Structure 1
Amino acid sequence: MRTLPPLAAVRVFEAAARHENFTAAAAELGMTQAAVSYQVKLLEERLGVPLFHREKRRVTLTEAGRRAAAPVSRAFDAIDGAFAGLRAEDEGLLTISTSNTFANTWLAWRLGSFQVAHPEMAVRLQTTDILTDFAIDDVDVAIRAGRGGWPDLVQEKLIAIDFTPMCSPNFLARHTIATPADLLDVPQISPHDPWWAHWLREAGVDVPPGPPRAGVRLDSQAHEGHAAMAGQGAAMLTPFFWRNDLAERRLVRPFEQLSTRGYAYWLVYPEHRRNVPKIKRFRAWLTAELARDLPSPV
């Protein structure tokens, strides 16, 4: 069994011995000079020998302090080396978790540019609609939909989630959709989605009570948008994700009205990992990419 002095005090001693200056050691360790002096004194009392001569405005190592300083410094170098491999391994892989919709309609199309910008780093994308538990999941960052308010996580709002009906031009040509109420009489994709009733009521439509009507039910907006492009019905979609398809007339919006239920997409990661370099690099890339695609404020 090892009989070790307090490691916090040993760490302070190593820095103070290397600089032979309590003020410089305090600056390196992010402590006050008084705290450094206290930790050194605590170690001296534990060992029963003085480690520094205190002279006016300066300190110098005693013979005992000088004998201890070199092996202690080598020991800290060895500890640093033991963890360096783990740090390098962690920095070499970025794992991102996000929803199927965000991955398939936006992120997967652009993630290659992050890889090109950081060729030293492997990137793994996990697509799931289950919220990441950072305590047990091997995930660095997540992009999740919601209203925020997740404890112990940094939460940065990326885009608001709004929605409006969309369909293919061919579908629109085959069906009469002159007013919002006409949407009740055409095939709807995922009619069980509460976005339908919310949008229709905001448009002034009296939505019939009862269970949702029958129709194709899909598990993500990514699938719903492609089904709409295939002419299978009208889908309730977020324009941001489908702006290229709207611009190229694969999809059309019968009405200008946009609705929202207060949800957004957020970049989230544990508070204690805020300054991890690979997370900072991904955050910077993500915000720059989104800024290029989001409409400029008027």
Structure 2
Amino acid sequence: MADILASYSLGAIRVFEAAARLKSFTRAADELGVTQAAVSWQVKTLEQRLGQPLFVRRVREVDLTPAGERLARAAAESMGLLRAALSDLVEADQGVLAITTMQSLANHWLAARLGAFQLAHPMIAVRLEGSHVLRDLDRGEADLGLRAGDGDWPGLAAHFLMPFVQTALCSPEFLARHGPFERPADLLNQPRIGASSEWEIWFRAAGVAPPQNPEAPRLAADAQSIEVASALAGQGLAVGSPIFFAAEIASGRLVQPFDIAPHYGGGYWLVYPKDRRRVRKIVAFRDWILEAVAADPAIARHAADGGQAG
């Protein structure tokens, strides 16, 4: 076996793995920083050594042959393990942990808790990005991410954190001016913030037929935190997470007119490349955040009640 492995260049295997993953010699060349001709030559040399084709060449892309499929699976796993091992040796327990997540989760849940993680792991510096941009974790654009979805991202390990639930929220000043609200249908005629589709889910969960031709919302933003900030300022009612804004609800800065918080499908997950599952800084953060989730009473409540409260 050693003699067989020695006859093949690790560089050729690396080139083959990139071309197989990207289904393109040109894109593989861009990723590796070489010419398309160099990729083609390396693949051709590998095919000649093996005595069988690995790709079916097409005009703008390539497809794997059955032999190529077999080798691609092994090459991807091997290169992933090698990258993880090298990363682990270089980083050890130190370095920078780059986390990417959406703005609302970063601002209203994670940021307030990160101090505890840094106290427990003082040799790990955290770089937190709150953005709607989906970073490519396989290409190292971040070490790990907190994502919304169903937990199915090919190549990524996913750990469920909390359900995606939302409830109607407003400021106490808004309630004093426009309330009291005796039944959920009373909100139909109130100024609302956020997408009509999100309000439709809330109204249906409350047993109310949503308006057939809803008025345009006073504000619709790409971040929940912006919409709820408008509600905090007394501009209207917004739908927001009772988990993210649990502190504001508990302090009375935000009012939940009705104890109704339906699931909106999916949830929030911790994700990272499977081949980096043994990197110590990722393991440290994974263990810490799962403990933080388990200790959060708001998460426990809404996970247990299926997103509805009586």
Q: Output the TM-score relative to the length of structure 1.
A: 0.68
User: Equivalent of 2:193, from 181, 189, 193?
Assistant: 189
Q: Using the alignment, how far apart are the partners of 1:106 and 1:132 within structure 2?
A: 20
User: Equivalent of 1:258, from 258, 261, 273?
Assistant: 261
How big is the shift at 1:219? 2.3
Residues 84 and 170 of structure 1: is their aligned pair in 2 closer, same or farther, counting only changes over 3 Å? Answer: closer
Residues 133 and 228 of structure 1: is their aligned pair in 2 closer, same or farther, counting only changes over 3 Å? Answer: same
Cα RMSD, aligned residues only: 2.5
Structure of higher CA gyration radius = 1
- Matches for 1:165-176 after TM superposition, within 5 Å: 165-176=168-179
2:250 pairs with 1:247: yes
User: Equivalent of 1:164, from 162, 167, 179?
Assistant: 167
User: Equivalent of 1:206, from 164, 189, 209?
Assistant: 209
Q: Over residues 261-293 of structure 1, what are the superposed CA-to-partner deviations in whole Å (9 max), with x where a residue is unaligned?
A: 222000001111111111000011111222222
User: Any gaps of 5 or more consecutive residues in structure 1?
Assistant: 10-82
1:258 match: secondary structure: coil
2:119 pairs with 1:113: no
How big is the shift at 1:188? 0.8
Give the fraction of aligned pairs with identical amino acids, expressed as a percent.
43
Match of 2:237 in 1: 234
Q: Using the alignment, how far apart are the partners of 1:115 and 1:272 within structure 2?
A: 24
Q: Which residue identity does 1:153 align to in structure 2?
A: L
Is the Cα–Cα contact under 8 Å of residues 166 and 241 in structure 2 kept in the other structure? yes
1:133 match: secondary structure: coil
How big is the shift at 1:7? 6.6
2:186 pairs with 1:178: no
2:218 pairs with 1:215: yes
2:298 pairs with 1:291: no
Q: Using the alignment, how far apart are the partners of 1:119 and 1:278 within structure 2?
A: 11
Q: Using the alignment, how far apart are the partners of 1:226 and 1:153 within structure 2?
A: 33
1:165 match: secondary structure: strand
Match of 1:135 in 2: 138
How big is the shift at 1:208? 2.4
User: Equivalent of 2:103, from 97, 100, 103?
Assistant: 100
How big is the shift at 1:171? 0.6
Q: Using the alignment, how far apart are the partners of 2:6 and 2:156 within structure 1?
A: 28
Residues 286 and 104 of structure 1: is their aligned pair in 2 closer, same or farther, counting only changes over 3 Å? Answer: same
- Matches for 1:50-61 after TM superposition, within 5 Å: none
How big is the shift at 1:153? 0.9
Is the Cα–Cα contact under 8 Å of residues 168 and 237 in structure 2 kept in the other structure? yes
How big is the shift at 1:214? 3.6
Residues 274 and 254 of structure 1: is their aligned pair in 2 closer, same or farther, counting only changes over 3 Å? Answer: same
User: Any gaps of 5 or more consecutive residues in structure 2?
Assistant: 8-85, 305-310
Residues 91 and 212 of structure 1: is their aligned pair in 2 closer, same or farther, counting only changes over 3 Å? Answer: farther
Q: Using the alignment, how far apart are the partners of 1:189 and 1:94 within structure 2?
A: 35
Q: Over residues 13-71 of structure 1, what are the superposed CA-to-partner deviations in whole Å (9 max), with x where a residue is unaligned?
A: xxxxxxxxxxxxxxxxxxxxxxxxxxxxxxxxxxxxxxxxxxxxxxxxxxxxxxxxxxx
Q: Using the alignment, how far apart are the partners of 2:245 and 2:139 within structure 1?
A: 34
Q: Using the alignment, how far apart are the partners of 1:186 and 1:202 within structure 2?
A: 18
2:203 match: secondary structure: helix
How big is the shift at 1:86? 6.4
Q: Which residue identity does 2:227 align to in structure 1?
A: E
1:226 match: secondary structure: helix
Is the Cα–Cα contact under 8 Å of residues 232 and 253 in structure 2 kept in the other structure? yes
Runs of 4+ in 1 over 4 A off after TM superposition: 4-9, 83-86, 295-298
Match of 1:60 in 2: none
Q: Over residues 232-280 of structure 1, what are the superposed CA-to-partner deviations in whole Å (9 max), with x where a residue is unaligned?
A: 1111011111111111101111111221122200000111111111100
More moved, 149-158 vs 87-96: 87-96
Q: Which residue identity does 1:169 align to in structure 2?
A: P
Q: Using the alignment, how far apart are the partners of 2:210 and 2:88 within structure 1?
A: 61
User: Equivalent of 2:152, from 149, 154, 173?
Assistant: 149
Q: Which residue identity does 2:187 align to in structure 1?
A: L
